[in-house]
A and B are shown apart, each in its own frame.
Chain A
Amino acid sequence: MIGGLFVYNHKGEVLISRVYRDDIGRNAVDAFRVNVIHARQQVRSPVTNIARTSFFHIKRANIWLAAVTKQNVNAAMVFEFLLKIIDVMQSYFGKISEENIKNNFVLIYELLDEILDFGYPQNSDTGVLKTFITQQGIKSQTKEEQAQITSQVTGQIGWRREGIKYRRNELFLDVLEYVNLLMSPQGQVLSAHVAGKVVMKSYLSGMPECKFGINDKIVMEAKGKGLSGGSDDPARSGKPVVVIDDCQFHQCVKLSKFETEHSISFIPPDGEFELMRYRTTKDISLPFRVIPLVREVGRTKMEVKVVLKSNFKPSLLGQKIEVKIPTPLNTSGVQLICLKGKAKYKASENAIVWKIKRMAGMKETQLSAEIELLETDTKKKWTRPPISMNFEVPFAPSGFKVRYLKVFEPKLNYSDHDVIKWVRYIGRSGLYETRC
């Protein structure tokens, strides 16, 4: 299991060091600094073995977080745990930075003591942790309160406490999709997938049981069969269905029930959480299309033309559109003409950044650039990194639809109808790249 955890700043100075196992000595702290942080070469692996001791690290901003062990631990678990620690720290004090870590080192030690015991990860749910790791010293807890905390930390429904009350029962569903695309210069889709998630914010009283329905193909077809002949058969009535390749759920969702009945039922945590994550690869509507034209005119000049087409309903608006066109390292000057938005050459990023605030569906616009190059004697060819883009659109590119979310709370007297529900769809760019 995990033998120790260290946090370093970018210089390799230790900010936090917590050793859980006897086989890890103080020299491990230095070994990592010397061999990884100060290594001459760029790190080639997130796992490093130094003298029979294994180091796992992740880096956020300027902060290195390293777990160390001498045993054959579950590597996936260690990384998931390190990511979780980052999560927990962020929810306690915001951005991970040297300053924040130094300011909260006592809190961090307290957290590390709680969520990792002898190298075994324990309950690391932020909501629960915040009920008893408060940095307020000891509160005069009643015996009931104490029992409630412990039963929550260890409990079957460790993510929700009892006795929550709201005057207004309300819930928000955000369907957030990231479209990933790799397209060849000729416009052939090399790979495309949507990584989606459903984020739920719930303000519900008591211990509500929720049931969540989506237009998943398997469910819809099963339903279609059951209702064969029925007028509202969704599969036949041409309503779109989504083919989900794979999905994952928050730990509150009863997985065995999903496996057998394909129904998503759960008791939600209070407040915001990620209900499910899914991935689709079929029938993705790509909101934008980038058509690049690059011409090298001699050794000192290049002409680039980029056409951007929006490909969705004209009534909808795409936002925060940004196209990043890489330029060679020896660029000396760029002349730009664009029909819409603003474009700028950013030497620090070696790219032309073209920003468009809003763009309606089924429109087309373009940018042309003349790039002047310095003459260099380096033989090394410029490798033309792909053109990447960012955007946000108000629909789900995978075709994912929420069909219903029903709430049952048998003990309290409010029904499904009394709950106010909001659903919102957002499609964003993931890695959205076109080779040129």
Chain B
Amino acid sequence: PLPLPSPLSLPPPMEEFLGPQPEYDEEEEEKKYYRRKKLGVVKNVLGASVGGMIIYSVYMGLLQMQLILHYDETYREVKYGNLGLEDIDKKMLMGINVTPIIALLYTPILIRFLGTKWMMFLASGIYALFVSTNYWERYYTLVPSAVAIGAAIVPLWASLGTYITRMAQQYYEYVNYKEDHVQEQKKLPKGVCHRYVIIFQSVFFIIFHLSLVFAEFPQRLFLHQFLSDYNHTLYNVKHCGAEGSGMIEGFNRTVLKHLPRSLLLIQVESVLMGAAFLSMIIFLAVCGAAYRPTEEIDLRSIGWGNIFQLPFKHLRDYRLRLLIPFFIYSGLDSLFSVTGLTLSYGVCTVGLEWLYLLVMVYGLSCSLFSCLSLSLLRLPRYVSLLGGAVIHGPLLVFLLFWSPAPRSPDQLPYLLVVIALWGMGSALNKTGLSILLGMLYEDKERLDFVYTIYHWWQAIAIFIVYLWTGLIMRAKLSILLVILLLACFCYWTMERRLAKNMHFRLPRIPRPKHKVKGYRYLEEENSDESNSEESDEDDDEEHQEEVIREDFGGDAGSQGSDSTRERRGGARGRRRRRDDDYEQAGEREEREKEGERGIEKE
């Protein structure tokens, strides 16, 4: 620091700050610095988990409360008369469930443009807007906000997945800051950050699944006192469970004993609104950026056209292709557990007044059994996914033959056991998939594409569930079972191929082009001129490489870039190595290359 020009001219703290510090220990300082950084990463993970948990609690709690209220004929007619609330609700659900279908087109662009943190913040804002529109339920408020939610679901989840995985990578970097590959910002060795991916994803899901518990608070604390008992609501219900069809056939059109005061509703909604706002603040203030500014600029600079294409190109990778059935199953499972299991089996048997318990138990079991995924630290990675399938498979068969009688509250314990088991399977499934993706794709440049694909397929599956609402229960269960078996088969195939070192085709991530105006980097306008000329050359080469790559799935690219770098290299250019941006397919070869390069480097 600056020595003091005159001791009298500065206040004591500044003096201290500026004065020479003999006991300055660089090593120790560095350690402290990276400890702070590690804590920051943990804070980010917890922030994202809690933020996501709160916003989903609010969203699901509100949606459930409103759907129940709007289901009640009296409430609807009295409060909204000729407004056609039922129609609006249908449109709203349609907006939420159908819009995500086109999410694949814009999600990567959105994430790359905003960055994961800001994407999560924006999405939480959209959810908060949806909460606020529930004060004033009109066609022109509810439907647009539902469409907005539908549009935000896939980006939110893709950025959450990317964020958590990326945090695991950062954590690894901060733990091993002395390693060369970290210092030089090279590609991390394969498998080094799996450990953190497993822990972080598990923690995320442990916290996130609690949202199902909190989502029932409005139901338990507010709506419960207004609900009629099962003798009234289930009066005309003839079949439950496997024999039923649709949601609940013959469910009474009125479910409320008496109508809630609108002031009370406003109060409840205000509490929810406050929670939504809190989660926005958490995303904004607690979560740090997932990528460093330079990285973010690079991510953004590969060209929007490329960003748009890359998710589709990634679908050529057989690993992703073979996981698609599992993605679909995961989506089917998440909606089936809420609509099929809790409604057609649970509510149909014990009545609406126990809905909150069913969902709470489901959420608790999901959250609790997400811990099981931590076992992947010791066990092979297929344990989680296949374990989930092993639980769900027999359960599905059991459900195919189980039709509890309506209006039989004595069945409640059995239902809770079934639902808890199902929750266990779901938890293994969800955490397993996220962890698996984080392990398979360690490249920080393509995380968002992979998670986008995953959640897009999930959204498609949710759309399918939305379409099949009226189907008979056995058909639904059979579809689930078939897809589960297919998913297991495909997954097993994938693992076998990987074990056989079969090459997979990965699209190359193009080199970043910094053609953007200088203000973004605070530099002279022409500062990038020379670079961009060079990168144009690179582009040509890359183009060729890509063709080669796609033909052989091998790694032929790195030499080219090396040569460019050498051309430039008179002044010990410690420029950031762009070479790393090249994608590597067939990672073993890549590691060898990496070794060579490392030697060449220093």
Q: Do A and B come from one complex?
A: no
Give the interface of B toward A (CB within 8 A): none
